[in-house]
Amino acid sequence: MNENKIYHNFPIKGMTCASCVARVEKVLSKMEGIENVKVNYASEKVSFDTNNKNIDLKQAADKLEKFGYQLELTDVKIKPGEKPREAKNEKNHFTNDFKIALLFTIPIFLISMISNMSSSWPISQDYTNKILLILTTPVLFIPGKNFFTIFWTNLKHFSFEMNSLVAIGTGAAFTYSAVATLFPKLVQVGESLPHVYFDTSAVIITLFLMGKMLEERAKRKTNSALKKLLELKPKTATVIIDGKEQKINLSDLELKNHVVVKPGEKIPADGKIIEGYSTVDESMITG
């Protein structure tokens, strides 16, 4: 490893699907002085090397922000014996969005199905369509707002992904249905009123939000398990400084430090054995 390179690992927000990983890596890799960019979608972290101490990381954050991603330039050192500070437990907005969407989608779906299948439906098709329009509008523009916001950001950079497809599909179905409801003569063929697709827009938005909600839950459980595993890592290391043993914070351990590992202690970092011998309990890794 080149000693002049500096390793960075920062949280990044705003990634919504796997294609976001490739986009973030592509944007950062194009910047001069940034190398070996790797993005972990599950943990929402990005790591890279810089070959110049004077590189402005704020510029990288600003560039990513134009694509809708927030790079959190935090570099906190942990004191000896102190537990790593956990990120603020953000409320899962996907859960709230899903609940709101589901609240409207259930009546939308039932009204659409019953009015189409039952000849004894008491409300005229014109009024039924207007009721569906009123119920569907909040689904698209409250819980489904993020799909259209991300689509607009992607459109400005001529890049498209899953959210763009959702926005285009549901937006087209909603727009056509709204025109068919408010101005039926523009799309009317024959004497019968045109068919509307409000239920399609609402159901697609709701199902995608449900998927996002379940994905977030799985990610939280995975991150929780990884944090517990990392807690097994030692917080300090014993190094030889001026011929004397001294305990230092693990984050202060540097390349070419001579580390002393005594019987029963955990090995704090990768390295080469230069003196002595021992056996190692690898059960933490192998189970």
Q: Tens digits of per-residue pLDDT, 37-47?
A: 999 887 788 99
**Which distant-in-sequence residues (6+ apart) come within 8 Å of 75 by Cβ?**
8, 10
**Number of CB atoms found within 10 A of residue 94's CB:** 20
In this structure, the answer to whether residues 25 and 125 fall within a common structural domain is no
Could you list the residue range(s) of the whole structural domain that residue 27 is in?
6-75
Looking at residue 2, its pLDDT comes to 52
Evaluate whether residue 86 is within a structural domain: no
**262: domain CATH number?**
2.70.150.10
Residue 274 counted as domain residue? yes
In a domain, 261, yes or no: yes
CA distances from 106 to 130, 132, 134, 199 (A): 16, 11, 14, 9
For residues 63 and 52, the model is more confident at: 63
pLDDT at 223: 78
Counting the structural domains of the chain, the total is 3
- At 118 the pLDDT is 81
Check whether residue 154 and residue 58 sit in a common domain. Answer: no
pTM beyond 0.75: the answer is: no
Same domain, 98 and 182: yes
Task: State whether residue 154 is helix, strand or coil.
Answer: helix
Terminal C-alpha separation, the chain:
30
Classify 115 as helix, strand or coil: helix
Residues 56 and 176 in one domain: no
The pLDDT tens digits of the residues spanning 91-101 come to 568 899 999 99
Q: Are 184 and 191 in contact (CB under 8 A)?
A: no
Question: Which of 226, 245, 275 is the last residue in one of the domains?
Answer: 226
Last residue of a domain, one of 180, 205, 226: 226
3-class state of residue 217 by DSSP: helix
pLDDT tens per residue, range 160-186: 888 899 999 999 999 999 999 999 888
The CATH code of the domain that includes 47 is 3.30.70.100
Look at residue 104 in the predicted model and tell me its pLDDT. Answer: 97
- The least confident of 2-11, 73-82, 228-237 is 73-82
Q: Are residues 179 and 220 in the same domain?
A: yes
- Indicate whether 98 and 204 sit together in one domain: yes
Neighbouring C-beta atoms of residue 286, cutoff 10 Å = 6
Same domain for 98 and 221, yes or no, is yes
